[in-house]
Amino acid sequence: MSKDEPLVLELIDLLGYENVIIDDISLKVYECDGAEFFKALPDVVVFPDSAEEISKIVKLANTYNKPYIARGAGTGLSGGTLPINAGIMIAMNKMDRILEVDLENRQAVIEPGVVNLMLTQAVQDKGYHYAPDPSSQQACSIGGNIAENSGGPHTLKYGVTTNHILGMEVVLPNGEIIEFGGPIEEDLGYDLRGLMIGSEGTLGIVTKAIVRLTRNPQAYYTMLGVFETIDNATNAVSNIIADGIVPAALEMMDNFVIRAVEAAFSWGLPTDAGAVLIVELDGVEVGMSDEADQIIRILEDHHTREVRTAKDDEDRKKLWTARKHAFGALGLLAPNYITQDGTVPRSQLPKMLQFVGEVSKKYDIPIANVFHAGDGNLHPIVLFDKRDSDQVERVHMVNKEILQACVDVGGTISGEHGIGVEKQEFMPLIFSEEDMDFMVTIRNIFNPKQLCNPKKIFPIDETIGVTP
Amino acid sequence: MQNTNFSKIDGVIPKEVTIPSSVSEIQSFLRHVTKEKLSVIPAGSGSKLSIGNPPPQIDFLLTMKKFNKVVEYIPDDLTITVGSGMLLKDVQKILADNNQLLPTNPPYNNEATVGGIVATNSSGPHRLRYGATRDLILGLRVVQTNGTIIKAGGKVVKNVAGYDINKLYIASYGTLGIITEVSFKLFPKPAVERTMLLNFNQHGHALRTSTEIVKSQLLPVFVSFFSAGIPDTEVLEPCLLIGIDGHPKTVAWQIDQINSIANLNGVVQKEVYQDHKQSQLRSSLCAFPEGNGSNSAVVSRINIKPSNVGNFISSVLDLTSPFSTYVMSHIGNGIVYLILSDFTEEQIGLLANTLTVLRKQAVNIQGNLILEIAPLGLKNLMDVWGEVGQKSQLMTQIKSELDPANVLNPGRFVAGI
Ligand SMILES: Cc1cc2nc3c(=O)[nH]c(=O)nc-3n(C[C@H](O)[C@H](O)[C@H](O)COP(=O)(O)OP(=O)(O)OC[C@H]3O[C@@H](n4cnc5c(N)ncnc54)[C@H](O)[C@@H]3O)c2cc1C
């Protein structure tokens, strides 16, 4: 887009030169998110500072009939921020203020560009935190979390984003600024706040959120169970859940990941192990070691080689840092990767992980596994080189077979990363025509002209030239 | 009991009762009523049909009571899928056999069906620890007014594929479709359950104690306040009822801690209950919003910020002195239930004025006040829900898109829906 196009001039007029990017080199930064396999350039990137400015941008988009899309931190893993058909990208970076912290009511009012971890850091000295903790929490924005309904390791006990958002301010696709929910638990009428969460930015742009804050637990008990095989580890997970124990977190890493993480962070993970489980309990200190003993017994029943315990808080934090940076560490192993995100009933984990191993062999595509085992939320990380078209073809088959298998055992195709563009073709695996028509009906009520983040989530006929 | 629930809704008698036994029956029924523009009130057991504005007329009352079976229960996955007409208490019985529970304890614990609970997001005191019913639902199956069946969510505990359509139906009060199946996530049954009863002679002391407990690192399952004793028990003073569940050592330690907090805040008497007496107290707590049995009781539910509860209750007690007043609050969640009774026909106007003032006060602090149970006379004087403001347009659009002939619960919900 050139500098003197009327839309650009109006955007500059509204936001100032410094808040409008149109040169190709700078735009490159915004051509993809964490699913870097998919690329598309926006026409223009803008940096508004208020809901009012966003409302005006949205109205301009309507006037010029241009698509537009919000961008948080760009860590999404399903191509959610991909500006298909170009258009205006609305970057939320400047709207990163924590507007109000209300500890008495355990809530905070924030702008959507606030980075997940920053929110926790702002309240941790007072003994609180924001519970949903995606592994990307050092970078990802709460706006992005709301759009994707993100989870994290501690989702097992504390729930996902939707369980922690009380209300929000939204700029609707007609430019109207509106509030859903509020600083209370139950608003009147339909739960439009609930509908917005997980709608992947296709129903409007969130400009403010009222989030719950969670009291820090009195104590943690963090264990690392070391296993010779993935099979033993996943059986232990199923057994823990079946025994009626719901820890605060229950995460698995396979040998691939252990080695990558250890090379990067040297926590002291056993690089010859088939898999490790991180099991964390939290809550009241008295009685906690009894519950830990119960878990250790189950790990032993499944032939754990050893169980290590985090020595102190620093040790615990180091272990979590290692776990949360696992994706990053893996990035070094192959030029490209796609992270699958299917969820299965927890009793099906051993079977599913065996299947993932078989598929990897069958197509000769390496797959690493680091995932939220307690929730049954898999993350097979499929490693490849996109310059090799044969590999790309095989990766596509791998994705398809794994997602189909998740669905076949009663699961779903995405536990937390969203559909975006990456999985839209797989939606029919779980949803009927009627189901999807219904969702499209709802979308069209909010977003009738399809300018707000178009061509996402639902299968589309037009090829967008990016699907592997 | 069920018949009285069904026979009249705000004085209107349904012309016909239909009791479908299959999804396909519901499909053809809904197609028929949509074509003929007939009105339908969907119901489970009818325990909460009092909630809503008076219906203009009712052609059909549709009850889901034949959808009363477990569809799939896999204890090892901690999930269950049941027919929407199943009684919550029957679900709990099956779960208890496997040492599991669905941690919601809404009012009408004995009669309420799963579908009714979902449609009203009916939740109990346990929401402090486990969240509201909304937070426990994984998936739904719903028949649309055009006869199509859709599924929302699924059976796994984490799922972001497509929109979170569950949220559209939870608390939609039967205005958008007929829910036929519900999937829930489950929890292990705690090893030990104890209930503490703390008596005070001043409201302020009780409220301060509860605030201290909620902001501590203790993990009670509920902390509920009663302004004037607990109905159906001999407790008559302001008191707190506190649930502590879990590992025996953890429970014992927390009871000690709560005792110390209470001692510092003017507690008069403390008791810890288990077994029969405990279940009695917990039932009375859950049943509080059902009213105190008198036919003419008015029950309101107020949602405000927890920090506003103390002042709001003082204001309630000031304004409602002409009536018998009972207040119960799940303080940590900012929920207040208010029961007003012992009023005459002539006092209905005064009652409406009082509740309107209280509603205004709640709205001024970003809250709301809903009438859950009210005589027709009162409903004629004030809306059951209050204003939804700017959002009403989107809500009306959703309603008219999903129920174009306006057959489901017409006129009973917010914004004239
Ligand atoms: C290393 C790594 C680890 C990860 N671990 C996890 C994990 O553990 N759990 C998990 O759930 N996810 C995880 N993710 C995925 C990702 O971090 C989350 O989806 C995150 O919520 C995206 O936030 P973001 O700010 O980066 O959003 P973006 O990627 O910028 O955007 C994502 C979507 O949100 C929309 N959006 C952004 N802001 C707004 C707004 N204000 N209003 C409306 N729509 C908006 C965008 O349009 C887009 O559709 C991980 C990603 C990486 C790279």
pTM: 0.97
Which residue in B244, B238, B233 sits closest to B265, CA to CA? Answer: B238
Q: Write out pLDDT tens, residues A303-359.
A: 999 999 999 999 999 899 889 888 778 877 788 999 999 999 999 999 999 999 999
Where in chain A are all domains bearing CATH 3.30.465.10? 98-215
The answer to whether B161 contacts A188, with C-beta atoms less than 8 Å apart, is no
> Which pLDDT does position A3 carry in this prediction?
76
Structural fold of domain A219-328 = Alpha-Beta Plaits (3.30.70)
Question: How confident is residue A462, by pLDDT bands cut at 50, 70 and 90?
Answer: very low
> Which pLDDT does position B208 carry in this prediction?
95
Pairs across A and B, CB distance < 8 A = 239
* Extents of the domains making up chain B: 1-189, 192-280, 291-379
H-type helices in B288-386, by residue range? 309-319, 348-364, 376-381
Could you tell me the CA-to-CA distances from B375 to A314, B51, B289, B298, B351 in Å, in that order? 61, 11, 15, 7, 11
Closest CB to B78 among A241, A377, A438: A241
- The mean pLDDT value of chain A amounts to 94
Q: Write out pLDDT tens, residues A90-132.
A: 999 999 999 999 999 999 999 999 999 999 999 999 999 999 9
Q: Which segments of chain B have a pLDDT < 50?
A: 1-4
> Which pLDDT does position A465 carry in this prediction?
39
Task: Give B213's contacts (C-beta < 8 A, 6+ positions apart).
Answer: B220, B223, B242, B258, B261
Class level of CATH domain B192-280:
alpha beta
> Which pLDDT does position A326 carry in this prediction?
86
Q: Write out pLDDT tens, residues B70-100.
A: 999 999 999 999 999 999 999 999 999 999 9
User: What is the torsional sign of CA B111, B116, B120, B124?
Assistant: positive
Is the confidence at residue A173, as pLDDT, over 60?
yes
Relative orientation angle of helices B309-319 and B348-364, to the nearest 10 degrees = 160
> Which pLDDT does position B8 carry in this prediction?
83
Q: Write out pLDDT tens, residues A370-386.
A: 999 999 999 999 999 99
Residues with CB under 6 A from ligand 1: A 33-34, 69-77, 80-81, 92, 112, 134-136, 140-141, 143-145, 147-148, 150-152, 200-201, 205-206, 327-328, 416-417, 453
User: What is the torsional sign of CA A3, A4, A8, A13?
Assistant: positive
Is the confidence at residue A398, as pLDDT, over 90?
yes
Q: Is pLDDT larger for residue A165 or for residue B4?
A: A165
Q: Which two tokens stand for residue A106?
A: 């355990």
Is the confidence at residue A25, as pLDDT, over 50?
yes
Structural fold of domain B1-189 = 3.30.465
Query: Which CATH number is correct for B291-379, 3.30.565.10, 1.10.287.130, 3.30.2350.10, 3.30.70.2740?
Result: 3.30.70.2740
Instruction: Compute the average pLDDT of residues A63-76.
Output: 97
Contact by Cβ (8 Å): A251, A372:
yes
> Which pLDDT does position A250 carry in this prediction?
97
Residue A198 CA to residue B170 CA, distance in Å, equals 16
Pick from A140, A165, A180 the residue to mutate for probing ligand 1's pocket: most ligand atoms within 8 Å of its CB.
A140
A98-215 maps to which CATH number?
3.30.465.10
Percent of chain A with pLDDT over 70: 98
> What is the CATH architecture assignment of A6-91?
2-Layer Sandwich (3.30)
Q: How far is the CA of A18 from the centre of ligand 1 (A)?
A: 25
Question: How confident is residue A277, by pLDDT bands cut at 50, 70 and 90?
Answer: very high
**DSSP 8-state secondary structure symbol assigned to residue B266:** T
Tell me whether the CATH fold assigned to B192-280 matches the one assigned to B291-379.
Answer: yes
Question: How confident is residue A392, by pLDDT bands cut at 50, 70 and 90?
Answer: very high
Where in chain A are all domains bearing CATH 3.30.43.10? 6-91
DSSP code string of A280-307: EEEE-STTHHHHHHHHHHHHHHTT-SEE
Q: Write out pLDDT tens, residues A214-257.
A: 999 999 999 999 999 999 999 999 999 888 888 999 999 999 99
